Structure 1
Amino acid sequence: MEPENDCAWKPKQGMTFDSEQCVYDFYNTYGGRMGFSIRRDFCRKNKINNQLICRLLVCNKEGFRKGDKRDPLSKNPRAETRTGCEARLYVKLDEGTGKYVVTDFKEKHNHDLVSPECAHMLPSQRKISTTQAIELDLAAQSGLRLGQSFELMGREAGGS
């Protein structure tokens, strides 16, 4: 984790952003540094022009999964991943400036955070470059299955 006195990368109430995507990218970067994954939760849009009015970004472990609709005697039910974490970032559109303003930020997690060495494996942190995406498309067009394509990329990089 980064030192507490370096606050440029930490969300604060009153911060402004040009777009909802900028808010997501900032909070996702913060989550990667701290060791948690994020997801988009709630949003409200203007009914007239369909513009986003507010957005809630939450920790990936927020809430609880709904009951399983499948057979209750299923042999391999999925493990529970959510813990009811309350970490969140809420932004609202300031109609005067057209920018998104942080109105609520909670940083307290009720679960262990991931170490920085493993943070790249979290769901919201998994990214591939444009070049890698093109290579995967070419491999698929050549008839390679997805697993084979990733194995090829791993060998090119010198290991998985």
Structure 2
Amino acid sequence: MVLWIEQRAYEFYMQLGKCQEFGVRKGDYGKNENENLIYRRFFCNRAGLRDGKHYARLDRKRMHKPETRTNCEEKLLIYLDRGTFTWKVRKVILDHNHDLTLTCMIHLMPHFCDMLDAVKAHMKSMYRLPTSKILRYMIGIARGYSLLGFT
């Protein structure tokens, strides 16, 4: 049941991220002595900073990847109330220190590109058609590439 609640909280946070145009990621969690989950954190995908030791290396063979982390403070923390054995929200911070993703680009973020099982089954039923025609058909059903929901 705990995993179900954690999954529901993550789905809610992903919907919030999609509506407010920011990427999300799972953060740290805590377990009690019986290995049961007692709290879970979810963050903006730009939370935190890259460790400084990566910048100081002299033996680098490749250039640094572009910096995407901005130490954003946006987060959601849920925890298990031990008295009532119910899950509660401990902290919600909705302030970003970076520009949000454009509405027309939010569907390209990896965690918002999930394909429904019904869509997969529909595509498998058209196995004789070329992939480009299947995709064009799906775009027509969705009424646009940005409304397709997957890439």
Equivalent of residue 55 in structure 1, options 40, 53, 64: 40
How far is the alpha carbon of 1:77 from its aligned partner? 3.8
How far is the alpha carbon of 1:72 from its aligned partner? 1.3
Question: Against the structure 1 CA distance between its residues 132 and 95, is the aligned structure 2 distance closer, same or farther, given a 3 Å change threshold?
Answer: same
How far is the alpha carbon of 1:73 from its aligned partner? 3.4
Question: Against the structure 1 CA distance between its residues 138 and 62, is the aligned structure 2 distance closer, same or farther, given a 3 Å change threshold?
Answer: farther
Question: Against the structure 1 CA distance between its residues 107 and 72, is the aligned structure 2 distance closer, same or farther, given a 3 Å change threshold?
Answer: same
Give 2:60's aligned residue: 72
- C-alpha separation in 2, matches of 1:38 and 1:98: 27
Q: Structure 2: 5+ residue runs without aligned partners?
A: 146-151
Give 1:82's aligned residue: 69
Which letter does structure 1 place at the counterpart of 2:138? A
Runs of 4+ in 1 over 6 A off after TM superposition: 135-139
SS in 1 for 2:25: strand
Give 2:111's aligned residue: 124
Q: Structure 1: 5+ residue runs without aligned partners?
A: 1-17, 143-147
How far is the alpha carbon of 1:71 from its aligned partner? 4.9
Identical amino acids, percent of aligned pairs? 29
Question: Against the structure 1 CA distance between its residues 52 and 138, is the aligned structure 2 distance closer, same or farther, given a 3 Å change threshold?
Answer: farther
How far is the alpha carbon of 1:132 from its aligned partner? 3.6
SS in 2 for 1:118: helix
How far is the alpha carbon of 1:119 from its aligned partner? 1.8
Which structure has more relative contact order (CA 8 Å, sep 6+)? It is 1
Question: Against the structure 1 CA distance between its residues 32 and 101, is the aligned structure 2 distance closer, same or farther, given a 3 Å change threshold?
Answer: same
Contact 1:19/1:99, CA 8 A, preserved across alignment: no
- C-alpha separation in 1, matches of 2:8 and 2:44: 17
- C-alpha separation in 2, matches of 1:81 and 1:154: 31
Question: Against the structure 1 CA distance between its residues 78 and 153, is the aligned structure 2 distance closer, same or farther, given a 3 Å change threshold?
Answer: farther
Question: Against the structure 1 CA distance between its residues 70 and 19, is the aligned structure 2 distance closer, same or farther, given a 3 Å change threshold?
Answer: farther
Give 1:154's aligned residue: 135
Equivalent of residue 78 in structure 2, options 91, 114, 128: 91
- C-alpha separation in 2, matches of 1:28 and 1:53: 21
How far is the alpha carbon of 1:131 from its aligned partner? 2.9
TM-score, length-scaled by structure 2: 0.72
- C-alpha separation in 1, matches of 2:74 and 2:5: 21
The worse-fitting range, judged by mean Cα deviation, of 65-74 and 53-62 is: 65-74
Question: Against the structure 1 CA distance between its residues 95 and 131, is the aligned structure 2 distance closer, same or farther, given a 3 Å change threshold?
Answer: same
- C-alpha separation in 2, matches of 1:158 and 1:125: 17
TM-score, length-scaled by structure 1: 0.68
How far is the alpha carbon of 1:118 from its aligned partner? 2.3
